[in-house]
């Protein structure tokens, strides 16, 4: 395998590994822009993956699995909203609690229902989102440089992959070109001013966390029945936290979020490729170095070396209406 083939392989892996990060980071973007910190992204993703895998296995339908993943993720979002918006509870504690609930409940239910140590049975081909071959992919395969990129990187992905990339410009348009987006950003900066204008802060924040739950549902479904063919214990593997790191790294902006997720996905793909391989002059490099790079980059950003990353001013602060 020559260098170009290796690059194409790594780029293809980068796309596949970035999709759950993109969905989840965009989910955090909507929630945190409205002033609700959502540490529970990991739990929503994990619960959605379990629900999607169970439903796809029982029904043999990937779309039914997606609906189940969306439903359970939206339910978790409502719980987070009830705790942190209605009852003005600590948003961090609420999110962490959801992560623990999802991590424990998925294993317990998986063992009780299927008896496979927390796993779900393999879903059939109809229960998975199959790759889509774009028009002209086979014809362009032999075209130098462009052909392999189109045939092996752009084409051959499942529909959730393309939805993830479409969600980025759609999120930008919603946040910066609609009345809802303007109010959402305003409630994350100064909820008192929004309330004074006669707009319900509570209703806006609930809609934001529901959008976050909707996007996390796509993320979990992708993990279970698009990237894989079953649910595995703790299969989210910290991707919710990596997505939060990407969100901070991108300074809470949709398009930079996509590029940050692609960067982190590339580092993950590179770590997989470098396993057991020696670097000339250095020797074998532990893959943990590549896996730690996303967090190292985020820490560098937070330290202010490459510009300040300032979250929404009202983020994490329960809003109490003045009387």
How many CB atoms are located within 10 Å of the residue 195 CB?
A: 17
Percent of the chain whose pLDDT exceeds 70: 92
Q: Strand, helix or coil at 278?
A: strand
The CA distances from residue 269 to 17, 135, 265, 279, in Å, are: 7, 27, 6, 16
Residue 245 covered by a domain: no
State the pLDDT confidence band at 231, using cuts at 50, 70 and 90. Answer: very high
State the pLDDT confidence band at 56, using cuts at 50, 70 and 90. Answer: very high
Residue 27 covered by a domain: yes
Q: How many domains does the chain have?
A: 1
Alpha carbons 152 and 31: distance in angstroms, whole number = 34
Q: What is the Cα 203 distance to its own chain's centre?
A: 24
pLDDT at 304: 60
Is the pLDDT at 50 greater than 90? The verdict is yes
The tens digit of pLDDT for each residue in 272-282 reads: 777 767 666 66
Residue 12 covered by a domain: yes
Domain that holds residue 9: 3-240
∠ CA(107), CA(108), CA(112), 5° rounding? 115
Residue 288 covered by a domain: no
Closest by CA to 248, choosing from 60, 73, 33, is 33
Is the pLDDT at 306 greater than 60? The verdict is no
The tens digit of pLDDT for each residue in 132-148 reads: 888 887 788 778 888 88
Is the pLDDT at 75 greater than 90? The verdict is yes
């Amino acid at each position: 395998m020559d260098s170009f083939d290796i690059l194409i392989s790594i780029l293809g892996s980068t796309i596949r590994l970035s999709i759950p990060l993109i969905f989840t980071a965009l989910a955090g973007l909507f929630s945190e822009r409205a002033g609700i910190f959502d540490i529970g992204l990991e739990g929503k993703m994990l619960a959605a993956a379990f629900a999607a895998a169970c439903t796809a296995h029982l029904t043999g339908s990937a779309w039914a699995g997606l609906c189940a993943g969306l439903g359970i993720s939206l339910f978790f979002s409502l719980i987070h909203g009830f705790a942190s918006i209605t009852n003005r509870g600590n948003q961090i504690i609420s999110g962490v609690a959801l992560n623990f609930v999802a991590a424990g409940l998925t294993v317990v239910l998986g063992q009780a229902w299927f008896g496979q140590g927390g796993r779900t049975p393999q879903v059939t081909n109809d229960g998975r989102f199959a790759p889509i071959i774009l028009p002209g992919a086979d014809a362009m395969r032999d075209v130098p440089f462009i052909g392999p990129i189109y045939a092996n990187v752009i084409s051959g992905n499942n529909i959730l992959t393309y939805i993830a990339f479409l969600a980025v410009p759609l999120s930008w348009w919603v946040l910066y070109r609609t009345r809802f987006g303007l109010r959402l950003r305003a409630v994350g900066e100064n909820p008192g001013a929004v309330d004074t204008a006669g707009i319900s802060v509570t209703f806006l924040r609930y809609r934001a966390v529901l959008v976050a739950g909707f996007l996390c549902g796509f993320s979990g479904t992708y993990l279970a029945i698009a990237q894989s063919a079953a649910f595995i214990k703790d299969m989210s593997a910290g991707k919710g936290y990596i997505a939060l790191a990407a969100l901070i790294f991108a300074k809470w902006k949709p398009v930079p979020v996509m590029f940050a997720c692609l960067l982190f996905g590339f580092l993950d793909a590179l770590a997989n490729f470098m396993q057991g391989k020696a670097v000339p002059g250095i020797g074998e490099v532990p893959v943990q170095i590549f896996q730690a790079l996303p967090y190292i980059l985020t820490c560098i950003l937070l330290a202010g070396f490459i510009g300040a990353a300032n979250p929404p001013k009202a983020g994490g602060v329960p809003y109490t209406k003045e009387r």
